[in-house]
Chain A
Amino acid sequence: MKEQVTLAKALNLGLRSAMEADPKVLVMGEDVATLGGVFRITDGLKKDFGEHRVFDTPLAESGIIGTAVGLAMRGYRPVAEIQFDGFVFPGFDQIVSQVAKLGFRTQGAFRASMVIRIPFGGGIGAVEHHSESPESFFCHIAGLRVVACSNAQDAYDMLQEAIASDDPVVFFEPKRRYWEKSALDVTRTPTESTFSSVVRRSGNDVTVVGYGPTMAVVEAAATAAQAEGRSLEVIDLRSLSPLDLDPVLDSVRRTGRLVVVSEAPREASLSGDIAARVTEEAFYSLAAPVIRVAGADVPYPPTRMESLYLPDLDKVLDAVDRVLSF
């Protein structure tokens, strides 16, 4: 029963499904109730599930995260929305100090079973602090799971898995792709965890890894490369922490070449960690250094310059050329 829906709609449906399945699931955040969120991801949930399960909070990110921890300790499963990527930092202290460590500190007596939804990435022409890719900060924190969806089916499935998880999940949503339609089958039950890497497209020459917003660029690059007679294997990480690296390693062992594509700045990043681990674990399979296509190590630029900053088709194809010509 597949239909074409936007990624935003799939998230809404995923939330609905989770809320129907478990009365302990709460939706909270700035403007999520009456307005339905600034991106309308939570549209209609208050009407259908009531103001006690879907509620607007005061404008305070530490407050949202910190009270969600207390609600989780009480047995609820809060799904907290952070309005934009660059606004998560006032809540960062609570995420690092409390959310990530609650289970370890209490030896499992309490769990911060909660989801923090963050629309992330650039390309929408927004003002400062609205286009960032802060995922590496969260991947560095033990105790969190960090995931990023890239299409409607994953958005629907992964959000439900995140809500059902007893561990806290930082859930990154590629806001640039909110309005893109792709196939969704709500009757389908995933047979394995959606928090694992998945091969989107098979190929033999170069492995290209992406996640979230960069998947569109990576898949377009694979199509363009094919026209030039180059076969790219495309992998969507989906889970950023823990990294499901085995499919990447398997692929690199065949292709010998790896390109990692991420919008985040390159310094001390997730893309750097992937490159390091592939080097550590598949060194003798590599025919070329791992090449990263990433954001520049600058603050996210003003919108008229963001096309210069973001990984695009040409940058990915150029990286493919480089690993092939090494």
Chain B
Amino acid sequence: MAPSDPTGAAGIGAGGTPAAPPPHRVVAGLKATTDHTVQLLSPEGELTPTALSGEYPLEVTEDLLRGLYRDMVLVRRFDREGNALQRQGQLGIWVPLLGQEAAQIGSGRALQPQDMAFPSYREHGVAWTRGIDPTDLIGVFRGADHSTWNPAETRFHTYTIVIGNQVLNATGYAMGQRLDGRVGSGTDGGAPDEATITYFGDGATSEGDVHEGMVFAAAFDAPVVFFCQNNQWAISHPVDQVSRVPLYRRADGYGFPGVRVDGNDVLACLAVTRWALDECRSGNGPVMIEAFTYRMDAHTTSDDPTRYRTSDESEAWKLLDPIERVRVHLVRHSTDSAATAEFFAGVQAEADELAARFRTFCLEMPTPPPDRMFSEVYATPHHQLDRQRAEFLDYLAGFADDGGAATHGGAR
């Protein structure tokens, strides 16, 4: 097991430390959580010593915790609604984020408005932090659109389906930020300095584009944060079968910092990402962050995780739930328990309203008109395509019911 043990912890056995369990007893990922992982809020809901005096300072207030709690609950709620809608045949597919709320909300809340984010396809929580209404995510999964939100205005790029492509695009964008002088300039009076963040999973770290993205980022000092959500599984393939070292240590090979953070700890994700983005804005980037977390649901709604992982595993990870630890902390330490109870009830009501709105929007979502298929393929006129579009619309218009467009474009 040694070559594929990410921490080397399997070899520890002397000095009273329990020997590592045999491979078949190992629960994915958990064996590595004790090693070099930044944590500010424990699974039991207590602030850790690191929170008070560690390298990644964060002023932890009740307001901050409540805001992060609300974000995570709302995001989890509409994520579950997305899953249900797919099961009911309303969405072609849904990509669940269950379990990864802290990684996404913590890192997303660290971004400033001028920063740019390049997601993969599971980043519904990050989208939320960029002010994108969850209903804007539906078009992609209902098959109506590739991106309903405006990626230039929201500074949250479209979802990227091809694994790892966005890492290079983000690096190039960050190279542009540096060329524009928007790095390390200070913010006196002028436009603020900027950084880029890109999201990818543990599976993507096998892709050439991720490697090349890190090589280019290092070569050009690009202000980019590589935010890897290690959720332990690339569909059915466990991360410890693809990397001999913890993923964050790959950054060593490129010559920039790599930090592993407890990906189920929203405070740690916020603090470490805020630090990393500051490093980038001040010209000290790039930085890699490995958020050590777990995908509690399937890879997508097309997947069946019972074929490749045990229920013991997900049960063990449930104890590390990102929302529960914040809730416990608030219950134990809030200054006004009545107000806290009211807050929890309020968030729950808000979540239910959001889910209902999400569902209604999905069911009522119109299918785009037929000529949408031909729009914006090119920026400048393309005579061949223009002719093809005209012929197609002419063909549709030839139907006797005068509803050719609706008949052909609206079938569902």
Chain A residues with a Cβ under 8 A of chain B: 26, 52, 55, 57-58, 60, 62-63, 65-76, 90, 93-94, 97-98, 101, 103-111, 113, 142-143, 145, 165-167, 242-244
- Please indicate the chain A residues that have their CB under 8 angstroms from the CB of B153 in the complex: 109
CA distance A110 to B156 in the complex (A): 12
Residue B384 lies at the interface, judged by CB distance under 8 Å to chain A:
yes
CA distance A94 to B213 in the complex (A): 12
- Specify which of B147, B176, B209, B377 is in contact with A66 (CB 8 Å cutoff): B209
Taking a contact as CB atoms under 8 Å apart, the answer to whether A67 and B165 are in contact is: no
- Specify which of B179, B216, B375, B385 is in contact with A57 (CB 8 Å cutoff): B216
Count the A-B residue pairs with Cβ separation under 8 angstroms: how many?
A: 137
Taking a contact as CB atoms under 8 Å apart, the answer to whether B212 and A70 are in contact is: no
CA distance A81 to B220 in the complex (A): 18
Sample (9) of A-B pairs whose CB atoms are under 8 Å apart: A26-B179, A63-B216, A66-B168, A66-B172, A67-B168, A93-B165, A94-B168, A113-B379, A143-B378
- Please indicate the chain A residues that have their CB under 8 angstroms from the CB of B375 in the complex: 104, 107
CA distance A52 to B380 in the complex (A): 29
Chain B, 356-382, CB within 8 A of any chain A CB: 375-380, 382
Shortest 10 CB-CB contacts between residues of A and residues of B:
A70-B172, A66-B168, A74-B176, A67-B172, A166-B379, A70-B173, A63-B212, A242-B384, A105-B146, A109-B152
- Specify which of A93, A110, A165, A244 is in contact with B162 (CB 8 Å cutoff): A93
Nearest opposing residue in chain B for A243, CB measure: B384
Taking a contact as CB atoms under 8 Å apart, the answer to whether B377 and A60 are in contact is: no
- Please indicate the chain B residues that have their CB under 8 angstroms from the CB of A103 in the complex: 376-379
- Please indicate the chain B residues that have their CB under 8 angstroms from the CB of A98 in the complex: 160, 162, 165, 169
- Please indicate the chain A residues that have their CB under 8 angstroms from the CB of B378 in the complex: 103, 143, 145, 167
- Please indicate the chain A residues that have their CB under 8 angstroms from the CB of B302 in the complex: none
Tell me which of B215, B375, B380 has the highest count of chain A C-beta atoms within 10 A of its own C-beta: B380
Of the four ranges (under 10, 10 to 19, 20 to 34, 35 or more), the interface on chain B belongs to 35 or more
Taking a contact as CB atoms under 8 Å apart, the answer to whether A63 and B213 are in contact is: yes
Taking a contact as CB atoms under 8 Å apart, the answer to whether A62 and B379 are in contact is: no
Residue B383 lies at the interface, judged by CB distance under 8 Å to chain A:
yes
- Please indicate the chain B residues that have their CB under 8 angstroms from the CB of A69 in the complex: 168-169, 172
CA distance A244 to B175 in the complex (A): 37
Contacts beyond the supplied A58-B212, A106-B147, A108-B376: 5 A-B pairs with Cβ under 8 Å: A67-B172, A70-B169, A103-B377, A142-B377, A244-B383
CA distance A72 to B173 in the complex (A): 8
Taking a contact as CB atoms under 8 Å apart, the answer to whether A74 and B180 are in contact is: yes
Nearest opposing residue in chain B for A66, CB measure: B168
Tell me which of B157, B375, B376 has the highest count of chain A C-beta atoms within 10 A of its own C-beta: B376
- Please indicate the chain B residues that have their CB under 8 angstroms from the CB of A60 in the complex: 208, 212, 215-216
- Please indicate the chain A residues that have their CB under 8 angstroms from the CB of B157 in the complex: 73
Residue B107 lies at the interface, judged by CB distance under 8 Å to chain A:
no
Q: How far is the CB of B61 from chain A (nearest CB, A)?
A: 36
CA distance A189 to B170 in the complex (A): 37
Q: How far is the CB of B119 from chain A (nearest CB, A)?
A: 13
- Specify which of A67, A107, A242 is in contact with B175 (CB 8 Å cutoff): A67
